[in-house]
Amino acid sequence: MRRTRILRMSAVAAGAFALVLSGCGSGDTQTDARDDAGGAAPDGEPGSVVLYSTQFNPVEEADAIRRDVLASFTGDAEFVGASGDGEFIDRVSAEAQAGRGEIGLLGALHGTYVDLQDQGLLTDLSDLVDEMADLGIPDDVLELGRLGTDQQWYIPWVQASYVVAADKQALEYLPDGADVESLTYDEYLQWAANTAEGTGAPRFGFPAGEEGLMHRFLQGYLLPSFTGGVVRTFGDNAAWEYLAELWEYVHPQSLTYEFMEDPLLSGEVLVAWDHVARLKNALDSRPDDFVVVPVPSGPAGRAHMPVVAGLAVPESSPDPDAAKDLIRHLLSVDSQLATLSAVAFYPVVETGDAGDLEPGIQLAADAVESQANADDALLVLLPLGLGEQGGTFNDIYRSAFERVAVSGEDPSDAVGTEAARLEDMMENTGAPCWSPDEPSDGPCPVGN
């Protein structure tokens, strides 16, 4: 598969993403690339462009963006990471209130921009989109950046997803008759049990450490695959009971894992779910030793959560023209391919026949394509409309997981308590339901 096909494949998922968004009123609230791992306050100088981002904030990713993507910019660009959406939104709001800021360009996910645009803090980029029409960004992907209006508030930047990576040694433990390219969650559980029995220890893994993305597995994969929802069905015990059973065969160090690439490379874990960017080093280092496959399916479908990040210019940008120059640079074919190679986030522009992908990136790309195009695919949006409460939302899902799967509490009691917390949070934010939950007129109701 060539790079041109990656764009078209990813646009399938992003196109569905756009269609679902048309029925929703607000956006996600989450930092997500390899997720937020820390950052400092912007400290730019007049004439420079400070790119303030919720994406690519782990040290190695930030260094790769600076070295492989920003270094070739003809202007002066500085990459600064935000430690979370709360810090990000607060900083942009504070600079707007001050009447002038240091941040020139923003990098974030869809919902963060909804919150900023609700406050009137973004610059219309419609003229830049018209100028860049020949880049081939799909219309349905561009539609995301209009935030339900006729103006372009952000421009898509990169996209990614989550997959399952497995050491080929684990394939001998697959259940009889199971197709690794089209697993069910029941087969995944049996595979985990077989692998633990065959190797003498739990060898499946999840990124359940402090900076891991376990909450995304719960919100975007497990719960909707079992129940068809995220918030309305939170209290449905089936998915939580399954997770408790699966956890018996999960490596205990999963509670410390943040990136699954190293446990896979060391052999400590043989099968892992994670964000494609957090599997990159393992797949790059030993592509012949691993397979990358679609996520499993449950009774409600094969739920998956695509990630689309975008670029925006704040109203308080000290040099909007320089910020637009940096957008042009980041969306150039060379920069898009450099970003793909550096951090395993896929292009949103048409790249042409630029050659074959590196083997590890090819493995992940094929899996993302397969799960996005599966007959039973169920698209799940990132959390919408939560503002600064996105972290609290994640904490609730993590707490339910820890209480049920790790501590062994009865799901009815543990999930019931967390459902009450979730209901209070949804009422306080007023956030309506997002797909795949059915739309709501007011705050999304929480299933108990």
Q: pLDDT tens digits, residue range 64-95?
A: 999 999 999 999 999 999 988 889 999 999 99
Residue partners of 178: CB distance under 8 A and separation at least 6: 187, 190, 191
Could you report the per-residue pLDDT of 42-69, keeping only the tens digit for each? 444 435 899 999 999 889 899 999 999 9
CATH of residue 189: 3.40.190.10
Mind giving me the DSSP string for 89-117?
HHHHHHHHHHT--SEEEEEEEHHHHHHHH
Stronger pLDDT, 99 or 259, i.e. the higher one:
259
282 with 409, same domain: the answer is yes
In a domain, 268, yes or no: yes
Q: Is residue 177 classed exposed, middle or buried when 0-12, 13-18 and 19+ CB atoms within 10 A define those classes?
A: exposed
86 with 233, same domain: the answer is no
Token pair for 349: 């522009």
Q: Which single residue is written with the structure tokens 């040099």?
A: 319
Identify the pLDDT of residue 58.
Answer: 86
Among 340, 355, 370, identify where a domain stops: 355
- The 10 Å Cβ neighbour count of residue 438 is 12
In a domain, 70, yes or no: yes
- Scored b (16 or more CB within 10 A) or e, 194-209 reads bbbeeeeebbbbbbbe
In a domain, 230, yes or no: yes
115 with 150, same domain: the answer is yes
204 with 316, same domain: the answer is no
- The 10 Å Cβ neighbour count of residue 238 is 15
In a domain, 334, yes or no: yes
* Enclosing domain of residue 416: 162-305+381-429
Name the least confident of 197-201, 297-301, 369-373, 400-404.
369-373
Q: Total structural domains in the chain?
A: 2
The answer on pLDDT for 174 being more than 90 is yes
SS (H, E, C) 141-195: HHHHCCCCCCCCCCEEEEEECEEEEEEHHHHHHCCCCCCCCCCEHHHHHHHHHHH
The answer on pLDDT for 353 being more than 80 is no
Mean pLDDT of 401-408: 98
57 with 82, same domain: the answer is yes
Among 339, 355, 371, identify where a domain stops: 355
The SS3 assignment for 403 reads helix
- Give strand ranges (E) for 206-327: 271-275, 290-293, 302-304, 307-312
Identify the pLDDT of residue 357.
Answer: 76
- The 10 Å Cβ neighbour count of residue 402 is 15
85 with 138, same domain: the answer is yes
75 with 178, same domain: the answer is no
In a domain, 151, yes or no: yes
126 with 203, same domain: the answer is no
Identify the pLDDT of residue 29.
Answer: 36
132 with 87, same domain: the answer is yes
pLDDT band at 288 (very low <50, low <70, confident <90, very high): very high
Identify the pLDDT of residue 386.
Answer: 87
In a domain, 260, yes or no: yes
pLDDT band at 99 (very low <50, low <70, confident <90, very high): confident
Closest CA to 1 of 370, 432, 401: 370
With residue 50 as reference, give the H or E element that holds it.
strand 49-53
Mean pLDDT of 159-169: 97
The answer on pLDDT for 38 being more than 50 is no
CB–CB of 269/202 below 8 Å? no
Looking at the DSSP bridge assignments, the partners of residue 156 are 310
| Cα→Cα distances 368→124, 161, 295, 407, 428, Å | 32, 7, 9, 33, 35
151 with 182, same domain: the answer is no
301 with 214, same domain: the answer is yes
Percentage of the chain modeled with pLDDT above 70:
88
| C-alpha span between 37 and 31 (Å, rounded) | 10
| Cα→Cα distances 208→192, 218, 247, Å | 17, 11, 11
Triad 137, 143, 146: Cα angle to 5°: 120
289 with 191, same domain: the answer is yes
In a domain, 129, yes or no: yes
